[in-house]
A and B are shown apart, each in its own frame.
Chain A
Amino acid sequence: MGTEPLLAVEGLRVEFRVGRGVVEAVRGVGFTLTAGRCLAIVGESGSGKSVTARALLGLVGPGSRVSADRMELAGTDLRSLTERRWRGVRGARIGLVSQDALVSLDPLRTVGAEITEVLRNHPRPDAPTPVDLLARVHVPEPAERARQRPHELSGGLRQRALIATGLAGGPAVLIADEPTTALDVTVQAKVLALLAEERDRGMAVLLISHDLPLVASFADDVAVMRHGRIVESGPVGQVLTAPRHEYTKTLLAAMPGAAPKPPPPHREHVEALRVDQVTLAHPGADPAIRRGVFDVSFALAAGEVLGVVGESGAGKSTLAELLLGLRSPHQGVVTLGGQPWSRLSARDRRPLRRRVQLIQQDPLGSFDPRHRVERIIGDALPGPGRAARVGELLELVGLPDDVRSRHPRQLSGGQRQRVAIARALAPGPEVLVCDEPVSALDASVRARVLRLLLDLRRGLGVALVFISHDLGVVREVSDRVLVLRGGQVVEEGETERVFAEPAHEYTRELLAAVPARPAVVSRVD
């Protein structure tokens, strides 16, 4: 492999006109890409990483101004290309793979037609056929798949097909913009392996990601981006083990498992919630795919954090609805503080509802769009003295008091989730069901919200059922873990035991798919 840079960028700047003002999205970014190596640009949302990727393709979009001191692709100066010459670069010399193939491939066209489009744009004598390309990315039965549309393929297969369109023009550089974001962990690992394969064939890969563990497991070099600047860059090992910049340190500290977990509070074992052989099957179009939960049993102690992990379709949401008494099981019973919670009528459940509260994935959607924070929390409080209680709750979740007169739309994602937590605490619950509560948050915000939840458990003694697809997060917060698959519990146990010595094959598969956390990270702090 040559060490000559294939792509060299210096002083890249991108500005957008917004209204009458100008927003600088990228402020002087420089890096090089080399054949057979992968550079990862890591940053949180709004850091300018995706805009940087688009600038390399001349596709930043309308209302933008791109300038650079140098932007050179193997001898071609990209700065002065006409639109026509840019089209010769896109696809043929630099390929792009975006996130979520369900929307990044035209949903109305077959996968084969999408690949053919590239081949037609860049005809060459030794061009592979769409079927060859699908075979190259290990799509089984490629000839048949080529005739299918994205929605007919599984998430992993269509992401492979999208990668095939990125490879079709025979580029030397492949930009992968969050290529695994919409995928389940086991599928993520396979897609990454595919990208690694292409890199080992000599492709220069630029990986754009918000996911530090993923980057650590795959990239050779890393550049950390924030507010449009690269704050730190270098070989992965060096940046992650010996970070120099404060921001990099913050990111690393926010990684699941980076900070030592506070020990669970010691308290007497009191049962808060109990699930006995509960089954709730959803009638589905396809009887072969069973949806729901089947014969699930477990108990939740007061003040305990129970993690529930599983991939999409594992029955996590159904379980949450059962615990909340939003649905009744077909078989079995859910017991809440000694009462047969799931067997009560809707009317009888109502006065008990305050004891089990919910934190949803999308906090904004969980607030009435017409209400301000004061009203949102106030509505959850009984009787008089509300104004003072709202203030106490805001303080409890670490929000300033002036937030009460604001609209949730005016708050950041982390602040919104804090408001949702305050509302859930308002009626004084014994159990909080947290359904993917941090999945929509950036890493550093996520870490702080998780810390808040753990503090509340310690301070208030509230038990948490923590539902997530993210094993790292579950490991960080849970005392015990429940692994769900196809609506059934395949493994249950103390968190450290399950992660260290998984008993079930499926748990091992899940864990193997999680990008390894660099061992060195724990030294940071």
Chain B
Amino acid sequence: MTAEPTARARSGFRPALWLAYLVLALVVLAAVWPSLVATHPPDAIDLGAPVAGPSPAHLFGTDVLGRDTFSRVVHGARWSLVIGLGATSLALVVGALLGVLSASGPRLLDEAIGRATDILLAFPGLLLALLVVAVLGPGALNATIAIGCSTVPGFVRLARGQALVVRESGYVRAAVVLGHSPARIHARHVLPNAVPPLLVFATVTAGTAIISGSALSFLGLGPKAPTPEWGAMLADGRDFLDTAWALAVFPGLAVTATVVAVNVVGADLRRRFEGSPADGN
């Protein structure tokens, strides 16, 4: 019945949401202009104070070389965002192109893209990224490409499905009946209505991509050694668990806080999309 109340009550002010936007803003600030936030240069070695706990001089303590953990965490934001968002954007652009091409192009092309996607999907989870890194070698750019590769099949499938849904929709039918050309219909209806769901999907995969990036670094397959990447810092910290808890806590906390913020903000963006063009039929 029409009078059914909505289950989710929506209140105006939501502190958790504001916090998420704030965290994300801080992460972006740290990524763009780290020296503004950091207290030390990320590579400044202080042999007098190795593996120390938090203190006023070193907010998050220091690592085995006496480098300031807080400053390294701040500088690490850049790598997480570059790898995570870079991989997501790569997958989004490539996926959207291939997907729409697959739905609208000749049948042979559709088959080819479909089978290639099947093969990419055959490597479960991170394994495709690991294989790509094994071939290309470690490094930030390679990690980005690797994670992008493992994310792209989902986008291809979604884009193809969306394009098909839009092509079957009543408004495309109306446009055909009006005598509009296929090119005009694709430009005015199919593409604009097929892309928003991909953006929505990107807000879901962005968090995962950030985690995958730091996981590769944790395994020693990310940016090379002195780079302050959060996953790599954790891997270093793992060797000092019995003496320095701070080394294992703060970089991980940074990853989790960033991903929680990305997920909350992503959910908020999705909610704003809701009821508007997003679902296209």
Is A–B contact present in the complex under a CB 8 A cutoff? yes
Question: Is A353 at the interface (CB under 8 A from chain B)?
Answer: yes
Query: Residue-by-residue, is A350-385 near B (CB-CB < 8 Å gives 1, otherwise 0)?
Result: 111110111010100111111000000001100000
Q: Which residue of B lies closest to A370 (CB)?
A: B277
| Chain A residues, CB < 8 A from B174 | 358, 360, 366-367, 423
9-residue interface stretch from A16-24, A266-274, A335-343? A16-24
Type the 1/0 row for B177-212, where 1 means its CB is closer than 8 Å to any CB of A. 111110000001100110000000000000000000
The yes or no answer to A440 lying at the interface (CB within 8 A) is: no
Among the 9-residue stretches B4-12, B54-62, B66-74, B103-111, the one with 4 or more Cβ atoms under 8 Å from chain A is B4-12
Contact A369:B1 (CB < 8 A) given known A19-B9, A354-B179, A360-B173: no
Q: Identify which of residues 1-60 in chain A touch chain B, using a CB-to-CB cut-off of 8 Å.
A: 14, 16-19, 23, 25, 45-46, 48, 50-51, 54
**A275 vs B280: C-alpha distance in the bound complex, in angstroms?**
34
Beta-carbon contact of A380 and B178 below 8 Å: yes
CB–CB B179/A350 < 8 A: yes
- Set of chain B residues within 8 Å of A17, measured between Cβ atoms: 5
Q: How far is the CA of A350 from the CA of B3 in the complex (A)?
A: 45
Q: Say whether B170 faces chain A, with CB atoms less than 8 Å apart.
A: yes
Contact of B179 among A18, A353, A369 (CB under 8 A): A353
Interface centre among B174, B181, B188 (most CB of A within 10 A): B174
| A62 close to chain B: CB less than 8 A | yes
Query: Which residue of the partner chain A has the closest CB to B1?
Result: A50
Q: Is B240 an interface residue (CB 8 A)?
A: no
Q: Distance in Å from the Cβ of B240 to the closest Cβ of chain A?
A: 53
Q: Which of A16, A45, A423 contacts B5 (CB 8 A)?
A: A16
A63-B5, A362-B170 given; 10 more Cβ-contact pairs under 8 Å = A23-B3, A25-B3, A46-B3, A61-B5, A326-B173, A350-B179, A354-B179, A358-B174, A369-B280, A370-B193
Q: Is the CB of B178 within 8 A of A354?
A: yes
Chain B residues near A358: list those with CB within 8 A.
173-174, 177
Residue numbers in B under 8 Å from A250 (CB-CB):
none
Question: Contacts A368-B193, A370-B193 known; A62 to B5 CB distance under 8 Å?
Answer: yes
Which residue of chain B is the closest to A54 with respect to CB atoms? B1
Point out the residues of chain B lying under 8 angstroms from A134, CB to CB: none
* Selected A-B contacts with CB under 8 Å, 18 pairs: A14-B3, A23-B3, A51-B3, A54-B1, A61-B5, A62-B7, A64-B5, A326-B176, A349-B179, A350-B180, A350-B181, A353-B176, A360-B170, A366-B174, A367-B170, A368-B189, A368-B193, A379-B188
A324 within 8 A of B: yes
- Nearest CB of chain B from residue A63's CB, rounded to whole Å: 4
Contact status B5-A18, CB under 8 Å:
yes
Chain A residue total in the interface (Cβ 8 A):
41
Among candidates B3, B276, B277, residue contacting A16 with C-beta atoms closer than 8 Å: B3
Pairwise interchain contact B2-A46, C-beta atoms closer than 8 A = yes
Q: Is there a chain A Cβ closer than 8 Å to B256's Cβ? A: no
Interface centre among A356, A366, A369, A370, by most chain B C-beta atoms within 10 angstroms, is A369
Residues of B within 8 A of A493 (CB): none
Interface residues as binary, B138-180 with A (CB distance below 8 Å gives 1, 0 otherwise)? 0000000000000000000000000000000111011111111
Interface size class of B (residues with CB under 8 A): 20 to 34
Q: Which of A308-325 touch B at CB < 8 Å?
A: 324
* B281 at the binding interface (Cβ < 8 Å): yes
A427 within 8 A of B: yes
Contact B178 A353 (CB under 8 A): yes
A357–B5 touching, CB < 8 Å: no
Supposing A353-B179, A354-B178 touch, asked if A369 and B170 sit within 8 A by C-beta, the answer is no
Contact B171 A356 (CB under 8 A): no
Do the beta carbons of A48 and B3 come within 8 Å of each other?
A: yes
- Whether B179 pairs with A351 at a CB distance below 8 angstroms is yes
Distance A367 CA – B4 CA, assembled complex (angstroms)? 27
Instruction: Give complex CA distance A295, B179 in Å.
Output: 27
Contact across chains for B3 and A365 when beta carbons are under 8 A apart = no
Taking CB as reference atom, which chain A residue is nearest B7? A62
Least CB distance, B85 to chain A, in whole angstroms:
26
Smallest Cβ distance from B47 to chain A, in angstroms?
62
Q: How far is the CA of A46 from the CA of B277 in the complex (A)?
A: 26
Contacts of B171 in A (CB 8 A): 365-369
- Chain A residues with CB under 8 Å of B4's CB are 16, 61
Flag if A365 contacts B193 (CB, 8 Å): no
Residue among A51, A63, A370, A409 with most chain B CB within 10 A: A370
**Which B residues are in CB contact (< 8 Å) with A350?**
179-181
Residue of A with least CB distance to B176: A326
- Complex Cα spacing A150 to B243, Å: 65
Alpha-carbon distance A23/B6, docked complex (angstroms): 12
> Which of B176, B180, B280: most chain A Cβ within 10 A?
B176
Give complex CA distance A270, B4 in Å. Answer: 53
Give min CB distance, B118 to chain A, whole Å: 24
Q: How far is the CB of B128 from chain A (nearest CB, A)?
A: 35
For the complex formed, measure the closest distance between the CB of A29 and the CB atoms of chain B, giving whole angstroms: 14
Chain B residues contacting A365 (CB-CB under 8 Å) are 169-171, 281
Would you call A369 and B193 a contact (CB within 8 A)? Answer: yes
List B contacts of A48 (CB < 8 A): 3
CA–CA, A351 and B173, complex, Å: 16
Closest CB in chain A relative to B209 CB, distance in Å: 28
CA A381 – CA B181 in complex, angstroms?
14
Residue of B nearest to A45 (CB): B2
CB-CB nearest in chain A for B181: A350
B170 proximity list for chain A (CB < 8 A): 360, 362, 365-367
Contact partners of B1 in chain A: CB under 8 A: 25, 46, 50-51, 54
Q: How far is the CB of A406 from chain B (nearest CB, A)?
A: 14
- Closest residue of B by beta carbon distance from A325: B177
Q: Which of B49-103 contact A (CB under 8 A)?
A: none
Across-interface contacts of B280 in A (CB, < 8 A): 369
Q: Are B177 and A356 in contact (CB under 8 A)?
A: yes
Residues on the A chain within 8 Å of B276, using CB = 369
Nearest opposing residue in chain A for B10, CB measure: A19
Chain A 257-283 interface residues, beta-carbon cutoff 8 Å to B: none
Interface residues of A in 424-483 (CB under 8 A from B): 427
Q: Roughly how many angstroms separate A367 CA and B169 CA in the complex, as a whole number?
A: 9
Bound form: Cα–Cα A61–B170 in Å: 34
Contacts of A64 in B (CB 8 A): 5
Least Cβ–Cβ distance between A340 and chain B, in angstroms: 17
Query: Within the assembled complex, what's the spacing in Å between the Cα atoms of A62 and B9?
Result: 12
Which residues on B sit within 8 Å (CB–CB) of A380? 178
Give chain B nearest CB distance to A104 CB in angstroms.
14
B56 to chain A, nearest CB (A): 48
